[in-house]
Structure 1
């Protein structure tokens, strides 16, 4: 064997060894997930034992937020690690900018097999956006948890077939098949569920799991929102009659909780598959939601709001080897942080234009907390334009069409019931947050 072959063989062995040392990644995503709809959040009604165990084994980040609480933009922020105004997806139907990083592409270029299963709600298709393999996907067509139109990975519209079971079951079947089929390592599997997007209807066998009598209306339930810039004709808001009643909200929430108890059982199947396949000790597991859901808070059902229920999302991270500093972290974090977190955990270079920050430091207790986060909701079709800034204590919301402003002290008023905007005692705080928000809006992207 000549020296050149020896060098090439050595490089190949080094690459194989390096790949073997890199942890696999399983990213599980729920949809429209109210941050209170988890047992580990302190909710003693809903039953989510598998997610609670995952949180106990890792870190539950109880103040995670999406920068933009609507469908396509929220997913683009998560997959790119960038704000909507940087990645170009400020509203549904927008295209991710060509120079924005994409989680699957970043990992695939670093030698990872990238697998996608579930709901795809961005431009292109998973197989044109960096994923190298996958299972069945919702990539257009009928959207119904019982009769979801599913496209096989790499297929076209003519290959769509109606799902033969409830959406969460079907997607988990494909994920278990992938994990137990000896996937090429290292791998990153993204499983994006459609639950808890409406319609709120319990899966088979879960119809009577929760009685409306045991499910309370949210602590900030209202019949109507306390501001003018609200459109009750948005599809999400037509799910329940308007104005709202506590009875309607409790009935919907009972179904909603059943959907998530069933999803938790599917997460249990994923965890079992990892363990039985010998992958558990070398796989980073992240459970997150792309956005929140109001479920009657402030008279709103959907997620198009700057209240906590719209922008705040669950986030659980469990690393196979690192010890967590604490089981719960209450620092401000963002779904934009998921991409750089995965990069740092896997040893992949974080793209320079990523705006999120790795959560490795907070996971181990050595991180620096954020001072603030910014949010936007921009619906040009309905003339709804909202911007917000949140600090650990305060939140300022500007409704730019109607000129309404809301200011909340989240320490004293966690349910956002008392608007302090315009009050003399809050003048300095309001001025400071208004200045910070204006500075952010006047940035290079013109927010």
Structure 2
């Protein structure tokens, strides 16, 4: 072979390599915080309106049974994001995210330009400096809550005289002058405008803090939801009977946002503000999606939208996400892109943190051994119908859960109580079957299955013989939960 041919061949191989790199799809990952699946108006369950997320769902697949595994602390979102960025299951994520290359680092090593804005809140050495090529307006776990935003409203007069979601003097989402949801969207739009001139594929991590409390939004969004049009949840309770034994009593910051008991008025006001914050975020997500289209990159971009977990806001007499009910464990999960079928729903049980493994699969990047979550492509391509044989849940040592074949068993070790629900017949989990003799065999089988699942999850907690509660730790707990 002549020298000329050798040079020509090398140039061709180099050009092909560059083409292959540029042909890799872009990944836009959008993550909200505290958003239950039922807040999507496309689910036809609540008054909440999410037109842009509804449109996104129609462009791809909406997974309607996407779960978070739970948490080792009251800060469920921190555990959730450790799982997202490490790819490890909940009991190993806190260590794995500190020791192994994170999601963005894996993408960067594969030739991606990486960008992040908004909420990070991932434990370890990257806590303040996320490992992306470009970061902007990185936020902590939550906007500062004020005393005025706690234990409210007691009654209509208390509301009229007290804290308002649109009042900027209390800071929170308004700290800095512009609502954080708008700042995060502005940042993402700015990057997408610049992306028109980027030859590399990009990985965007856009983390909204909304609709986490303090549930603040511009007044026009609150006005969209008149209090007399807000329905009380079917599974609403004034007080959850086992709240103290499961770590959801007055010691929990999230639980103290609403008054005890959860009266009808307080529940409706908090849901009004929850919906307003969600709709405000939806509007700004719509702006980001428009910017993606305007960038000319949409045809080669996969969009994955999900949330850390859900939220109760009065359902079952609970407020936060520190429980094993569907409203708190289940979040929206939407995936859209070039090879994704449009307008589909998939009811297979998945974990929201499958997002990372899915993105690696889409980008043809080998999944590291420490990544335990699974790619969704085999489900999307209909190569399999089962994803996980059972879904696992935990909340510190106060709660354990297994979901299998539409049966959910929740374990409260310190209440010495089991709760058993058939989700097919009782989707709002209002009829506990645990003490009914005819379901004893189901309960015993699920207990056995949960113990086996604990082994695979690295969970050594003996829920039948729990150690004494550390009350000294509980005193610090109220300040740390968010």
Q: Return the TM-score normalized by structure 1.
A: 0.89
- Matches of 2:46 and 2:214 in 1, distance apart? 24
Which residue pairs with 2:367 in the alignment? 350
Q: What is the aligned counterpart of 1:249 among 257, 267, 272?
A: 267
Query: Cα offset for 1:74?
Result: 1.1
Report the alpha carbon displacement of residue 306 of structure 1 after superposing the two structures with TM: 0.7
**Structure 2 residue aligned with 1:307, among 325, 328, 332?**
325
* Among candidates 264, 274, 282, match of residue 264 of structure 1: 282
Tell me if the contact between 1:30 and 1:194 (Cα under 8 Å) persists in the aligned partners: yes
Cα distance in 1, alignment partners of residues 405 and 191 from structure 2: 40
* Alpha-carbon spacing, 1:126–1:9, altered in 2? closer, same or farther (3 Å): farther
CA contact (8 A) 2:60 2:344 kept: yes
Compared with structure 1, are the counterparts of its residues 174 and 148 closer, same or farther at alpha carbon in structure 2 (3 Å cutoff)?
A: farther
1:189 to 190, 200, 204: 204
**Can you list the C-alpha shifts for 1:52-111, whole angstroms capped at 9, x where unaligned?**
01101101111100011512111111222221112236xxxxx83413x52111111111
Matches within 5 A, 1:293-372: 293-324=311-342, 327-369=344-386, 370-372=388-390
CA distance in 2, matches of 1:191, 1:301: 26
Question: Which residue of structure 1 aligns with residue 182 of structure 2?
Answer: 169
Larger Rg over CA atoms? 2
How far is 1:207 from its partner?
Answer: 3.0
Q: CA deviation at 1:233?
A: 2.5
Which residue in the other structure is 2:52 paired with? Answer: 50
> Can you give the 5+ residue segments of structure 2 that lack an aligned partner in the other structure?
146-164, 461-482
**Which residue pairs with 1:398 in the alignment?**
411
Q: Does 1:288 align with 2:306?
A: yes
361-370 vs 289-298, which deviates more?
Answer: 361-370
Counterpart CA distance in 2 for 1:78 and 1:190 is: 11
| 2:17 alignment partner in structure 1 | 15
Q: Distance in 2 between matches of 1:225 and 1:78?
A: 30
Structure 2 match to 1:433: 446
1:385 counterpart (373, 378, 398): 398
Is 2:145 the counterpart of 1:130? no
> Which digits, 9 at most, give the CA deviation of each residue in 1:101-128, with x for residues without a partner?
5211111111111111001111233785
SS in 1 for 2:302: strand
Q: Deviations over 1:131-178 (max 9, x none)?
A: 11122111479636964599xxxxxxxxxxx53301110010010000
CA separation of 1:193 and 1:74: change in aligned 2, threshold 3 A: same
214-223 vs 345-354, which moves further: 345-354
Inter-partner Cα distance in structure 2 for 1:303 and 1:130: 28
Change in 2 beyond 3 A, CA 1:327/1:140: closer
The answer to whether the 8 A contact 1:80-1:336 is kept is no
User: Are the aligned partners of 1:33 and 1:313 in contact in 2 as well (CA < 8 Å)?
Assistant: yes
- What is the alpha-carbon distance in structure 1 between the residues aligned to residue 190 and residue 14 of structure 2? 29
Contact 1:63 1:330 in 2 (8 A): yes
> Is the partner of 2:353 in helix, strand or coil?
helix
Residue range with higher mean Cα deviation, 346-355 or 282-291: 346-355
Provide the C-alpha distance between the structure 1 equivalents of 2:127 and 2:7, rounded to a whole number of angstroms: 38
Q: Distance in 1 between matches of 2:261 and 2:26?
A: 47
Measure, in 2, the Cα distance between the counterparts of 1:63 and 1:443. Answer: 21
Q: 2:218 aligns with which of 165, 184, 203?
A: 203
RMSD: 2.3
The aligned counterpart of 1:96 is 97
- Whole-angstrom distance in 1 between the partners of 2:27 and 2:127: 17
1:287 is displaced (CA, Å) by 0.8
- Quick check: which one's helix share is greater? 2
After superposition, the C-alpha distances for 1:366-406 in whole angstroms (9 at most, x for unaligned) are: 3332331111111xxxxx52111012411111112332211
SS in 1 for 2:451: helix
Tell me how far apart the structure 1 counterparts of residues 144 and 231 of structure 2 sit (CA, whole Å): 29
Distance 2:119 2:65 in 1: 24
**Structure 1, gaps ≥5 residues long:** 90-94, 151-161, 379-383
Aligned to 1:421: 434
TM-score w.r.t. the length of structure 2 is: 0.83
Deviation at 1:208, TM superposition (A): 0.9
Match of 2:39 in 1: 37
Q: Larger deviation: 310-319 or 73-82?
A: 73-82
Match of 2:88 in 1: 82
* Whole-Å separation in 1 of the counterparts to 2:214 and 2:432: 32
Moved more, 398-407 or 166-175: 398-407
